[in-house]
Amino acid sequence: MRNVSTLHLTIDSHSATAPFEQVRTQIASAVAAGQLSAGTKLPTVRGLAADLGLATNTVARAYRELEHESVIELRHGAGAFVSATARPKKQTDRLRTAQSVVTTAVERLRATGVTDEEIRRLFEAELAGRIRKGDARD
């Protein structure tokens, strides 16, 4: 396992962006760019906080956010590791765009009085129809 010590994080104390968000963004960007590979062990919360001159709660919050985003895994007693399921930025951006399209479609359908159950059936039927037509995408 590679330690994150090769990654240089910096905190801009004059930035309007909160320090935890700066930590979160820099680690997520390093993972997306392939600078940190799956299984790479990250520094301890205390160690990274001390290196960056931050409170431990600040780094802990960044790690929790990264865990929630499936970028890292927190293993009790073992530390934080880059997740094997972390997605490259391109895929994450594609899924965010797709989620936006789905959200808009659901809002429009609800506005016309279609129920959530009907929406679910419509989506399932559409996908099933694509599969039958040989136009399925994995």
17-54 confidence digits (pLDDT tens)? 899 999 999 998 888 878 888 899 999 999 999 999 99
Token pair, residue 119, equals 């929406």
Which ranges constitute the DSSP H helices of the chain? 19-32, 45-52, 56-68, 89-111, 116-132
pLDDT at 63 over 90: yes
Provide the pLDDT for residue 102. 86
pLDDT at 95 over 60: yes
Banded model confidence at residue 132, pLDDT cuts 50, 70, 90: low
pTM for the full predicted model: 0.61
